[in-house]
Structure 1
């Protein structure tokens, strides 16, 4: 596996525009991107998302999942925000992923940098028991690799997975796909509602391209210092 720089995304999970702006300003220059998801987008709207994206690289994590035409139309509507990374659910199937990639290629055929299309595999809040409850009778690892193969073949630029699946995905798919890894908790942090977690250093050594950290940064007394500590840990992990 080639040595890669693991980059840090701060998850700004809030329904408050003012709070998100405060965090984004405090973290500018300390993180490589910010993540905005369902909570902020539904509460504050796309204009607010676009205003924050104008200052920092954006991971727009809306996890679209619908029939192929609806998801493609949704991505076309989101394209003016120009995020760096966008998510859809791998469980939507190969046609949905392929149509999504095609519509982004079309929307960004003018030379602007196209957002990377990421397929969400198995949510980090799920374990084998959770999968069985929805009729998937296998381990998270096997399901992630299965979905990952299908998604990359269909046109996804990368995958969202837990740190525990990075090595298996690299073995199956090589260094090409970008792996974005939530469920990251610095040593000593609360696990909250995450089940499949690792520390930043562990994820970096395993081969993550991006890690996503939320509450350990945003709930810290000094979010900028918390982010810098994670960046230092990431750098030390790859020396």
Structure 2
């Protein structure tokens, strides 16, 4: 496997605009991108999302999942924000993923400016038991590989997955997928609500392109220093 640079995304998980702005400002130059998700977007609105994206590269993690035309229209509405990365659910199926890719290509004729379309496979809060509860008789690993293969064939640029599925996805799909990995906790951090976790260095060595770290950065006394310590860990490989 080719050596890759693993980049760091700070998850700005908050309902408060001033808090998100403070975090984003303090992390300028310390992270490669910031993530804004459902809680911030619903609480503060798309203008606030757009404002933060003026100062940081943005991973807009809204995990769209609906009928194909609705998801495509939703993505089209988000294109003025120009996120670096954005997410849909792989479980929406082939047509939904294809339409999502098409609408992004139409909005960004220059492929270098097009947001990378990431498909969410299995949420990191889920395990075999929670999959069984929704009728999926497979382990998280089996389901991730199944959905990952479907998504990449349908036109996704990459996948959101747990660190523990990286190696299996690389074995099944090679170096092509851009793998974005949440559930990353530096050694000594609390697991919080993530069930399938790994340290930054472990995820990088497994083949992650991006790692997403939230509370260990944003709750640190010095968020920029916490981020820099993670960057140093990534760069020391």
TM-score range, shorter chain: over 0.9
Following the alignment from structure 2 to structure 1, what is the Cα–Cα distance between the partners of residues 138 and 236? 36
Which residue pairs with 1:109 in the alignment? 109
* Alignment partner, residue 234 of structure 1: 234
- Report how far residue 187 of structure 1 moved: 0.5
Partner of 1:58: 58
Q: TM-score with structure 1 length normalisation? A: 0.98
Look up the match of 2:9.
9
Alignment partner of 1:37 is 2:42 = no
How far off is 1:109 after superposition? 1.4
Q: Number of residues paired by the alignment?
A: 237
Distance 1:191 1:110 in 2: 40
- Gapped regions of structure 1 (runs ≥ 5): none
Partner of residue 167, structure 2? 167
Structure 1 residue 128: Cα displacement: 0.5
TM-score (norm 2): 0.99
Shift of 1:111: 6.5
Do the aligned residues in 1 keep the contact of 2:105 with 2:111 (CA within 8 Å)?
no
The Cα of 1:223 is off from its aligned counterpart by: 0.6
Aligned-residue offset at 1:159: 0.1
Considering only aligned residues, what root-mean-square deviation do their CA atoms show, in Å? 0.8
SS in 2 for 1:36: strand
CA distance in structure 1 between the partners assigned to 2:48 and 2:112 by the alignment = 21
Where do 4+ consecutive residues of structure 1 move more than 3 Å?
none
Superposition deviation, residue 174 in structure 1:
0.5
For residues 66-114 of structure 1, the C-alpha deviation after alignment (integer angstroms, 9 at most, x for no partner) is: 0000000000000000000000000100100000000000011156600
Corresponding position of 2:197: 197
Residue number in structure 1 paired with 2:94: 94
Residue pair 2:72, 2:103 contacting (<8 A) in 1 also: yes
1:119-156 Cα deviation digits (max 9, x unpaired): 00000000101100100011000000000000000000
Please identify, of 214-223 and 109-118, the stretch whose mean Cα deviation from structure 2 is larger: 109-118
Separation in 2 of the partners of 1:6 and 1:112? 19
| 2:193 equivalent to 1:188 | no
2:118 paired residue number: 118
Q: Distance in 1 between matches of 2:136 and 2:180?
A: 23
Alignment of 1:128-143 (within 5 A): 128-143=128-143
The 1-side partners of 2:187 and 2:62 are apart by: 28
